[in-house]
Amino acid sequence: MDYKATPIQQPTRHEKRVLRLMICAGVFSMGFFLYTLLGNEHDDHSVLYVLLLITIFYNCLKYLHEWYHYFSISVPETKPATRTYTVDIFTTFCPGEPYEMLEKTLTAIQNVRYPHTAWCCDEANDPYVIALCEKLQVKHVTRNNRLHAKAGNINNALRQATGELCVILDPDHIPAPCLLDDIVPLFDDPQIGFVQIVQAYYNHYDNLVAKGAAQQTYQFYGPMMMSMHAYGTVQAIGANCTFRRAALDSIGGHAPGLAEDMNTAMHLHAHGWKSAYLPVVLTRGLVPASLAAYYKQQLKWSRGTFELLVTTFPRFFTRFTWRQRLHYCTRPFHYFSGVIFLINWLIPVAALFTGAIPLHMDMVNFLLAIAPLLCMTVLIRHYVQKWVAEEGERGFHVVCGLLQIGTWWVHTTGLVYTLLRKKVPYLPTPKDDTDPTPLSLHIPNLLVVVVSLAAIVYGLRYDYNPFSLFMAALAGLNIFFMLFIFYASRTSRQKAISQTIQRRIKRRLWLFRHKVYAGVRRYALLLSIVVMAVAVYVYRKQLQLPVYLPETTPVHQASLHGRMPPPLKLNHTQPFTKRILPASIKAVVYDKGYHWFRNKHALLREEVEDDLAAMKELSINTVVRTVPGIYDKTLFRCTRENGMNMIARLWMSTRPEYVMDSVAMKKEMERLLDVVRSYRHEKNIIAWNLGNDVLYTLSNRFHIPDYFYCRNMYMQWLSEFCQAIRQLDPVRPITMDICWNKGGKYRLAFLEQYLPEVDYYSLIADSANRRLLQEPIPAHAFWGEVPVQCWNLQPPMILPAWQDIANKDFISLKGILDLEGRKKPGYDTVALYWANRQPAAMELPDIKILKPAKITYEYKPLVYHVLVRHKEGWQFAGDSLQLHWYLIRTDHNGTTLYMKKAGEGPFISLMVPNHPEQYRLYVQLVADNRVKEAASTLNIPLE
C-alpha cells in the first residue's frame, strides 16, 4: 500500500495570486450572469421561474462557498518534534465487520514507529477479537451498552487510556508506519486541539459507486480542507483524527451524534481549541462500494449535519469566530443539493406537463451569459487540483456528480427527517460490498425515470415546439442520470481487464486526459484571461448594432448577353378549370414565431389558442401561414379545433442567381412539392398561396434584356410547379401574390396570359400607391393584403399581419398588435370593417417625435421629445404618459431590421449611432392594452 507522507507543497505567492485573480474573474462572471438573467426584459413570475432561480442561486452560492475557501489555501508548516508525547491509538470494532480487515489494521497500528499504546474498542466483546488483541498486544476494551454509538464506544476506552494524544482510526483504515511522525510536532502549539489528515482509500477503483464516493472527497480533503486550516474551521472526520486528550476532556469526551465527528469539532472550536489539517496520506481505508452502503452513509451524514445545524450550532453560535459561524452554518447545506436536484428534475417535467416555459430569454444570450461562469468554475476547479493528494484525484469527477444526483432523495430524506425530528439509528458504514442493492432503494430514482418519460411523451404530443423539445432533452438527461445510477449499483467489482490491448488503450486515454488536466492547470491564468477577453468581446459585439451591407442592385450578368430567352409557351394543351375560393374569407397573415431561433415570440400552444380566440372576435375565419415551420403541428391542430381555415403559403427563394440555376430550382421545386405532399391531408387548408412577387424582385434586379431571360426561365419553372401542385391536389385553388404598384398591372396581365394554372391573384397594396386602390381590378384578382391605414379605400380579404414580429435580425411592425400584444389603432379598423364593431375604448391621442435642430453627428448625444396632439394642438408629453422609445436599424431600402430599446419617458437623450441615416426612432404611447406609435428619422431633413 503506498502512502504519501510528504505534505502537499505550500502554494507559492505566485500561485496564490493567480488563484485569487481567477476567483475574482469567477465572481465577476457570476455577477454578469446574474445581472443578465435578472435584467432580462421579459417579466416572468411563474412558479417555474422561481424554481429555476432557486436552483441557480443555490449553485452560485455553492461556487462562492468553494471559492471563499480556495482564496486562502495553505498548508501548515511541519517542524521536528521538540518532545515526545504519550499516544493512544484507538480503533473500533462492531459486530459483523470482517475479522480480516481488523487484523490488517491492528497489525499496521502495531507497526507504527512512534511509541504508542493501541486500543481496540470492541462493541461485540468478540472472542476472536480478544484473542487477536492478545496476539498483537493490543489493549482490548468493551462495554455492555451501546450508548452514543461510536462516540460512546471511544469515550468508554478513553476512560481507561491516559495518553496525552489519542488517534482515532476506523477499523478499515490501515495506517503507515510513519503515521505519527509529522502529526505529533503540531501539538507543540498548546492551543491545537486536533489534527486531521487526508482520508484516502484503497478500494476506490473497485466499482463505479466506490469511484464516485471517493471522488466526492478529493476536492474536499485537498484544497477545501487546506483553506479551512487557514480559516480555523478544519473539520474533524471520524477517521484519522488525532486529538489532544486535554481538549477531548474539556468537552467531556467525544461528542455523540450521527455526525459525531463534526459535532466533536464544533465542541472543540467552541471551547477555543485550534485545529490543523495536514495534507498527507498516512492511512488508507475503504469507501462505500455498494449503493446501499453509500446511501446509508449519506443519510446518516445528511440527517446528522442538519441536526447539528438546528441544535449544536445555535448553542455555540456566540462562542464561534465569524468564519466558524459561516462554516458550520453553510456546511449542512451541502446536503440541500437533494432538494435542488429534485427541483432540477421538476422543472422540465412541469414544463412539459403544463406547456409553459420557465424562462423567456433568448437562448443564445443566456448561453453567452452563463458561458464565462461555467468556464471559470471549471478552470478554478482544475487549478486547485494542484493541491490534491494524488494524480488519480484530478479530473472532472463525472461519476461523483452523477452519484450525488442519484442520492437526491436520500439527502432530501435527511432534511425532512430533521424537520420532522425523526431519528435515524447510528450504524457504522458497511465496509464490505457484498450486499446487493435492494430494488426498493431504486424506487425514487425509477419514479423519476417513469415520470420523466411520461412527461416527454405527453409534453411533445401536447405541444411540439423547440422549447418543449429542449425540455424533453433535459428530462431525457435526467432519465439518463438515474439509469446510470441503476447501472452503477448493478456492476459488481470491476473485473481486471485481461486483454492487454484494452488495458493499454485505457491507460493511454488516462495518461492523455491527465496531460490535458496538467496543461489546463499550467495555463489556467492564460485560459482565464482568454475566457474573460472573449466574453467581454462577445458582450460588446452583442451590444453593438449589426452592420448591413447594401445589396448590389441591379445585378449585371455578363453571361446573359446575346443569349435568347427561352420561349414562353402560349398554348397549353389542356384547359385549366379555375377552382373557387370562398368569397367569405377574412384572413390574416400569421407568421408569428416563424423563424423560431432567436425570435421574440415562442409560439406555445396556449399562445396560439389565445391568438385564435382574439382573431375570432374580429370575425377572422382564415389564417395565412408560411409552411413548413416547426410550430405547424400545433398550429394546424389549433386552427382545426377552432373551426378556422388555413391558407398555406409557399415561399420561394428569389435570389436572381438562383432563378438561373436549373439544378437549384429543381431542388427548390422538389422541396416545395414535398411540403404540398405532406400537408395536403390537412383538412382545413383551403388554398395554396405562392408568396412573394418574384417577377417584381427580378425586374428590380435586372436590366431589361437580362430580365427577359430570367423572367422566361422563371415562368417555365412556375408553370411546371403549378401543374405539379394541381396534380397533387386537384381540389384546392392556387393563389399568387402580386405587389400592386405601378408595374403590377402589367405583371398581372402577363401572368394571366402565360400562367393559367394559377386560380387567383392576390393583390398586395402599398400605402405609397393609394391611388391604385380605387381602380377596378380583373376578375381573377382579389384584394389581398391591404395596410389597415387604407381600408377606408379598399377593405381587403387579407389582413397583412396579426402581430409585430421581432427576430434577431429582422423586425416587422405591420401588425395590428404590437410585440407585447397590445392593440394598435389598426385593431379598431379591423373591428369596424370585419366585425362591424365601433371601438369601445377611449382613443389614445396622436403622438409625434420632435427632432432637435442640430446636426446628427455620430456618437454625440441629442435630445428628442414626444409631442401629444390635444384639442389645442401639439403639446409636449407630460411625465404621466407611459412612453417607450426604440431605435430601429433599417437597410438601404428602409426595411426594418433590428430594434433596440432607447429609453422611456417624454424625452430621451440619444447617442447618435454610426450611419444615423439608416436608423429610425420609434416611440410607443402605452395605456391599458392599447398602443399608439410614431416613428421618424433622426434628423430634420434639409430641403
Partner 1 sequence: MPFPGLTALPFCFFLIACHHPPAITGAPKKVEVKKAEGVFRIYKNGKPFLIKGGSGFTHLRELAACGGNTIRTWDTTHLQSILDEAHHYGLAAIVGLDLPVSTLLDEFYCNKQKTDSVYSAYQSIVRRFKNHPALLVWCLGNEIDFPYRPRFAAFYKTFNRLVAMIHEEDPDHPVTTTLTNFQKRNIVNIKLKVRGLDFISINTFNPLKTLEKDLQHFKWFWDGPYLITEWSPEGGWETQVVKWLAPIENTSTKKAELFRDFYQNYLPHKDPRFLGSLAFYWGWKEEYTHSWFSIFNEDGTPTEIVETLRDCWRDTVTHHQAVQLQYMLLDGKGAADNILLSPGSTHQASLLLAPGEHSDSLCFHWEIIREDWWGHKKSHWTKPPAEQGLLIDSTTLQVAFRSPLKEGPYRIFVTAFNAKGFCATANTPFYVVE
* Residue ranges binding partner 1 (CB under 8 A): 848, 850-855, 862-863, 865, 867, 873-876, 907, 940, 942
- Tell me the backbone φ, ψ of residue 302, rounded to 5 degrees: -60, -50
- With cell 468508554, the residue in question is 156
End-to-end CA distance of the chain: 93
Nearer Cβ to partner 1 (367/855): 855
| For residue 776, cis peptide bond before it (omega within 30 degrees of 0) | no
Nearer Cβ to partner 1 (444/852): 852
DSSP lists the bridge partners of residue 277 as 196
Nearer Cβ to partner 1 (139/848): 848
Nearer Cβ to partner 1 (339/866): 866
Alpha carbon 109 to chain centroid distance? 51
**Own/partner pairs for 830-836, CB < 8 Å, 24+ apart?**
830/618, 830/788, 830/791, 830/799, 831/618, 833/791, 833/795, 834/586, 834/618, 834/619, 834/620, 834/795, 835/617, 835/618, 835/619
Q: State the nearest-atom distance from the C-beta of 885 to partner 1, in Å.
A: 15
Q: State the nearest-atom distance from the C-beta of 898 to partner 1, in Å.
A: 27
Nearer Cβ to partner 1 (670/858): 858
Return the closest-CA partner of residue 75 out of 223, 253, 257: 223
Angstrom distance (rounded) from CA 149 to CA 15: 44
Q: State the nearest-atom distance from the C-beta of 912 to partner 1, in Å.
A: 13
Q: State the nearest-atom distance from the C-beta of 792 to partner 1, in Å.
A: 20
Strand order in the sheet with 87-93: 139-142, 117-122, 87-93, 165-169, 241-244, 192-197, 274-278
Return the closest-CA partner of residue 687 out of 795, 760, 610: 760
Angstrom distance (rounded) from CA 886 to CA 878: 19
Nearer Cβ to partner 1 (247/867): 867
Q: State the nearest-atom distance from the C-beta of 850 to partner 1, in Å.
A: 6
Q: State the nearest-atom distance from the C-beta of 824 to partner 1, in Å.
A: 21
Nearer Cβ to partner 1 (271/869): 869
Nearer Cβ to partner 1 (534/850): 850
Strand order in the sheet with 200-201: 174-175, 283-285, 200-201
| For residue 175, cis peptide bond before it (omega within 30 degrees of 0) | no
Ramachandran assignment for 894, one of left (phi > 0), alpha (psi -120 to 50 degrees), beta (any other): left
Q: State the nearest-atom distance from the C-beta of 907 to partner 1, in Å.
A: 7
| Residue 600 burial by Cβ neighbours in a 10 Å radius (0-12, 13-18, 19+) | buried
- With cell 390537412, the residue in question is 682
State the cell numbers at 672.
Answer: 416545395
Q: State the nearest-atom distance from the C-beta of 879 to partner 1, in Å.
A: 14
| Residue 543 burial by Cβ neighbours in a 10 Å radius (0-12, 13-18, 19+) | exposed
Nearer Cβ to partner 1 (473/911): 911
Nearer Cβ to partner 1 (492/909): 909
State the cell numbers at 333.
Answer: 447545506
Return the closest-CA partner of residue 373 out of 57, 44, 11: 57
Give one DSSP letter per residue of 404-459, joined into a string.
HHHTHHHHHHHHHHHHHT------PPP--TTSPPPGGGGHHHHHHHHHHHHHHHHH
Q: State the nearest-atom distance from the C-beta of 540 to partner 1, in Å.
A: 24
Q: State the nearest-atom distance from the C-beta of 918 to partner 1, in Å.
A: 19
Beta strand 805-806 with 882-890 is unpaired
Nearer Cβ to partner 1 (439/863): 863
Instruction: Annotate 810-833 with three-state secondary structure.
Output: CEECCCCECCCCCECHHHHHHHHH
Amino acid identity, position 169: L
Q: State the nearest-atom distance from the C-beta of 873 to partner 1, in Å.
A: 5
Nearer Cβ to partner 1 (190/873): 873
Q: State the nearest-atom distance from the C-beta of 871 to partner 1, in Å.
A: 12
Alpha carbon 797 to chain centroid distance? 44
Nearer Cβ to partner 1 (137/875): 875
Angstrom distance (rounded) from CA 404 to CA 335: 9
Q: State the nearest-atom distance from the C-beta of 376 to partner 1, in Å.
A: 35
Nearer Cβ to partner 1 (50/855): 855
Q: State the nearest-atom distance from the C-beta of 909 to partner 1, in Å.
A: 11
